[in-house]
Amino acid sequence: MESCFKDFDLLCRMIRAFSYTLVMENICHIILKNIVHILKADSGSIFFLNQNQELEMFVSTTELMIRKPSAYCDHSADNPACGTGFKMNEGIVGWVAAHKEPLKLDNAPEDKRYLFFGNKKKDMRHKSILCLPLINKEEMLKGVINLSKKKTGFFKDEHIKMLEPVMLQFTDAIENIQRYQEIQSRAKQITVGALRSLTIAIEEKDMYTRGHSKRVARYAVTLARAAARRYGFRRLDLENIEVASLLHDIGKIGVPENILNKKGPLKEDEWDLIRQHPEKGARIVEPVQSLKVVEIIRQHHERLDGSGYPFGLKREDILLEAKILAIADSYDAMTSNRSYRERFTKAKAAGILLESVGTLYDADLVRLFLGRLKVEGEDF
Ligand SMILES: [Fe+2]
């Protein structure tokens, strides 16, 4: 009886937690950790239904997993199922999603819906499985929770009954967070759009930089994607890099047109004005952008050896994202015409980047960048 009260108390605490956070990862971790604890399960995972009507693993008790949908459900002969994504009716998770009903199996490996991943012998230890659909009030499927007991004991029918109201509240909470995320993303699009208009207006003042920020964003995202595996960037970091790249020269609004378009060498006081544009840009976007975007813009002219501006930051003091933007920005500037010079060939620009690794640019990033451009057909 006492244990029953304890379980009930835990369930109530879980439901209360839904109103404390709007972070999807946190809420999923709370629910999963507690359910695994209450049911004495060995492991658990939460899958969400994506736009392609496939189930993607979002969290598991062993690690937080956030992957791009394209990384899932490509179960060709070369890419066998790995347990992190299921199509409708595929495996136990897919069956529960398709039928929208819970499934409890006492000896799952004997069931024909059970899929083996990796080491078959090891998988045989998954004896008892409890898989529950996440369905909202309109009877729409949102995802699936999958729990397993590998060592001792079995799940019971009463567990399904006990979890029913929690699953309903949980699905409600998921939908609220998704709605909140959509509103946030729309608001972000509007502010980025407004700032983009300003950047385009600045580029229009200088015929040589027309389209520059758009191309820089494309180069920076290409490099960031290539670096993502190495540095573990998440989706948000890529977004920050893209937004910062699109807006990086917004501070040039404070630089007079005659300086931007000057054909000859700049005087020292004119250079002073140019050197202020990263700081001015950071201040312009500060009220409406994340701290990360602001800092990337502020640091986009910093160089490894401290010869950059505005602060002369060195090596580790420069954000990785700003190092990425610096390479993309320099490459596009070199391969575009300027008022004071003809554009360099791509091979020459690549050579200059390579000559400057370790002093101006990060060596790994430059190699990744040039390698990626080659793969994408850039002709050096
Ligand atoms: Fe700049």
Ligand 1 centroid – CA 276 distance (Å): 10
Do 43 and 147 contact (CB within 8 A), yes or no?
Answer: yes
Ligand 1 centroid – CA 277 distance (Å): 7
Angle CA 217–218–223, to nearest 5 = 95
Lowest mean pLDDT among 7-16, 21-30, 304-313, 320-329: 7-16
Q: Which CATH architecture has domain 206-375?
A: Orthogonal Bundle (1.10)
Ligand 1 centroid – CA 309 distance (Å): 10
Ligand 1 centroid – CA 184 distance (Å): 28
Ligand 1 centroid – CA 189 distance (Å): 22
Q: Where are the domains of the chain?
A: 2-179, 206-375
Retrieve residue 278's tokens: 């990263």
Ligand 1 centroid – CA 338 distance (Å): 14
Computed from CA positions of residues 103, 106, 109, 112, in that sequence, does the dihedral angle turn out positive or negative?
Answer: negative
Query: Percent of the chain beyond pLDDT 90?
Result: 44
Going from the C-alpha of 218 to that of each of 105, 193, 214, 215, 246, the distances in angstroms are 49, 17, 6, 5, 9
Its pTM stands at 0.65
Ligand 1 centroid – CA 301 distance (Å): 6
Lowest mean pLDDT among 53-57, 107-111, 149-153, 250-254: 149-153
Give mean pLDDT, residues 40-67.
81
Taking the C-alpha atoms of residue 302 and residue 317, their distance in angstroms, rounded to an integer, is: 10
Query: Which pLDDT tens digit goes with each residue over 353-363?
Result: 999 999 999 99
Ligand 1 centroid – CA 99 distance (Å): 55
In the prediction, which pLDDT does 27 show?
Answer: 86
Domain 2-179 belongs in CATH node 3.40.630.30: no
Provide the CA 351 distance to its chain's centre, in angstroms. 32
Query: Which pLDDT tens digit goes with each residue over 177-231?
Result: 888 888 888 888 888 888 888 888 888 877 777 889 999 999 999 999 999 877 7
Ligand 1 centroid – CA 278 distance (Å): 6
Give the residue with greater pLDDT, 23 vs 157: 157
Residue 136 has pLDDT above 70, yes or no: yes
Give the closest residue to 7 by CA, choosing from 36, 29, 45, 46. Answer: 36
Ligand 1 centroid – CA 326 distance (Å): 9
Domain 2-179 identical in fold to domain 206-375: no
In the prediction, which pLDDT does 123 show?
Answer: 57
In the prediction, which pLDDT does 74 show?
Answer: 37
Query: Which pLDDT tens digit goes with each residue over 307-329?
Result: 999 999 999 999 999 999 999 99
In the prediction, which pLDDT does 193 show?
Answer: 86
Residue 150 has pLDDT above 70, yes or no: yes
Ligand 1 centroid – CA 183 distance (Å): 31
Do 307 and 356 contact (CB within 8 A), yes or no?
Answer: no
In the prediction, which pLDDT does 60 show?
Answer: 87
Ligand 1 centroid – CA 23 distance (Å): 34
Ligand 1 centroid – CA 235 distance (Å): 24
Ligand 1 centroid – CA 219 distance (Å): 15
Computed from CA positions of residues 15, 18, 24, 29, in that sequence, does the dihedral angle turn out positive or negative?
Answer: negative
Give mean pLDDT, residues 117-123.
60
Query: Which pLDDT tens digit goes with each residue over 158-191?
Result: 899 888 888 988 898 889 888 888 888 888 888 8
Ligand 1 centroid – CA 62 distance (Å): 43
Retrieve residue 272's tokens: 């002073």
The long-range contacts involving 290-297, CB below 8 angstroms and separated by at least 24 positions, are: 290/240, 292/237, 292/240, 292/244, 292/319, 292/321, 293/240, 293/243, 293/244, 293/247, 295/319, 295/322, 296/240, 296/241, 296/244, 296/248, 296/321, 296/322, 296/325, 297/244, 297/247, 297/248, 297/250, 297/251
Burial class (CB in 10 A: 0-12, 13-18, 19+), 346: middle
